């Protein structure tokens, strides 16, 4: 006959299960955020360069779209960092539960001891690469916005010079 866990042990098991669900939720958000960034950024960049040609009015619309996109990508970059921050909090909570008294349903320490990363690829974290790729997307969008602003200014400058000298 198996002993029933104490009330305190049942609470700790439930805390562990809830923390596990939280950790999984943040993991899904960490993977979903860059996917959304790349999909929306690609669509807006494609739209702004395919359909908004080098007419002055359309260039101004392109600048607006690119600046809004840059702000949006920056916002999602912050959200990505926050998801990882909260996920690390859940990981610390797991560790505290195990340090207090190991639960039979956890195997975190055993798994960590058996799986030491050996190669450069194994030592990398997906989060760092996802963060870097979203950051590069932000830099690219900002570069595109600055380039388009330069086109607007040079286009306006040429019209001003033609009007002034004619």
Note whether residue 121 is domain-resident: no
For the chain, where are the alpha helices, taking DSSP H only? 7-50, 56-100, 108-114, 120-123, 126-165
Note whether residue 149 is domain-resident: yes
Note whether residue 69 is domain-resident: yes
pLDDT digits (tens, 9 = 90+) for 76-127: 999 999 999 999 999 888 888 877 766 665 555 545 556 677 788 878 888 9
Note whether residue 135 is domain-resident: yes
What is the tally of structural domains in the chain? 1
Note whether residue 23 is domain-resident: yes
Residues 108 and 95 sit within 8 Å (Cβ to Cβ): yes
Note whether residue 2 is domain-resident: no
Query: Which range marks the domain in which residue 78 is found?
Result: 9-103+127-165
Q: What is the pTM of this model?
A: 0.77
- pLDDT for residue 32 is more than 90: yes
Note whether residue 1 is domain-resident: no
């Amino acid at each position: 006959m198996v002993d029933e866990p104490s009330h305190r042990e049942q609470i700790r098991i439930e805390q562990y299960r809830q923390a596990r669900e939280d950790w999984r939720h943040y993991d899904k958000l960490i993977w979903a955020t860059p996917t959304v960034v790349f999909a929306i950024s690609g669509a807006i960049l494609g739209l702004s360069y395919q359909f908004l040609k080098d007419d002055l009015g359309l260039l101004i619309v392109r600048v607006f779209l690119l600046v809004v996109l840059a702000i949006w990508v920056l916002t999602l970059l912050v959200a990505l960092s926050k998801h990882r921050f909260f996920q690390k909090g859940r990981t610390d909570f797991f560790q505290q539960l195990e340090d207090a008294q190991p639960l039979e349903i956890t195997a975190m320490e055993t798994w960590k001891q058996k799986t030491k990363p050996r190669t450069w690829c194994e030592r990398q974290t997906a989060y760092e690469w996802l963060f870097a790729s979203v950051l590069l997307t932000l830099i690219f969008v900002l570069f595109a916005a600055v380039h388009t602003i330069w086109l607007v200014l040079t286009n306006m400058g040429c019209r001003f010079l033609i009007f002034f000298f004619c």
